[in-house]
Amino acid sequence: MASASCITIRGIDEVDGETNDSLRASLKSLFKEKLEIQELLPIAKTYRVREAKQRHATRSSESTKQPCKVFVEFTDHNIVTQLLLSAKKLAEYQPPVYIDRQYPPAVHKRRRVLYPVMKIARNLKMRAHLNDDRLFIDGKEYTVDTVNTVPFKIYDLHMKENANTVVFHGRFAPFSNFYQADFSINGQMYCHVEQHLQHEKAVLAGDNKTAI
């Protein structure tokens, strides 16, 4: 899959007996009527993406009322840029429709780390935006490996403290097992305490393949 050519669309109504052809027709109508794109867009593949909570939801669950998002892959990556530039128009409709770029899992995971940092920067009136898996704050670039060097305290996001208790989680909290801090034990390098813990558990269980 070429991620540069893929998007997901949220908010397209799902009807009983929907087929791939009818889904493509709904997309064509969306692009033509709401985005005013008259030419036929070159769709390579499309399908509904059912989240785990939607697959396992009961009939009475509120989540069953929400249509599953639609994955779309185009044969031309330039189409994605065109759609994303026009996507703001769709949020004005009721119910709104949202178009997002589809990132590979590894990139998506890094974006989830950087996104809350971007929000803090914006709340501090700093210029901040994400470009794929890179964060830019006041013109300076940060990645998941360098985000700890941003010019404000980001661990406040992941730590809560009162007179008797300090609650923490995640890679930005210094007390967390996932806090990024390289160290070595018996010549073996680790990037955080949790990695060392999981390595030792695998060794204890005799799973040398996983331990490596």
Q: Is residue 12 part of a domain?
A: yes
- 164 within domain boundaries: yes
Are 79 and 126 in a shared domain? no
Pair (21, 76) in one structural domain: yes
Provide the pLDDT for residue 157: 62
| Residues forming beta bridges with residue 128, ordered by sequence position | 137
What is the structure's pLDDT at 212?
63
Exposed/middle/buried for 194, CB within 10 Å: 0-12, 13-18, 19+?
Answer: middle
pLDDT in tens, the chain (212 residues): 445 688 999 888 888 889 999 999 999 988 888 888 878 788 999 999 876 544 444 444 444 567 899 999 998 888 888 888 888 777 777 778 888 888 887 888 888 889 888 988 898 899 999 988 999 999 999 998 898 889 887 766 667 778 888 887 766 777 788 777 788 998 888 888 888 999 899 889 988 777 76
Where are the alpha helices (H) located in the chain, listed in sequence order? 20-29, 52-55, 77-86, 105-123, 193-204, 208-211
CATH code for the domain in which residue 79 is found: 3.30.70.1820
Q: Are residues 93 and 37 in the same domain?
A: yes
Does 68 lie in the same domain as 34?
A: yes
Owning domain of residue 98? 3-102
Q: What is the pTM of this model?
A: 0.53
In whole angstroms, give the CA distance from residue 39 to residue 168.
52
Tally of structural domains, the chain = 2
Query: Do 126 and 77 fall into the same domain?
Result: no
Residue 189 covered by a domain? no
User: Same domain for 28 and 83?
Assistant: yes
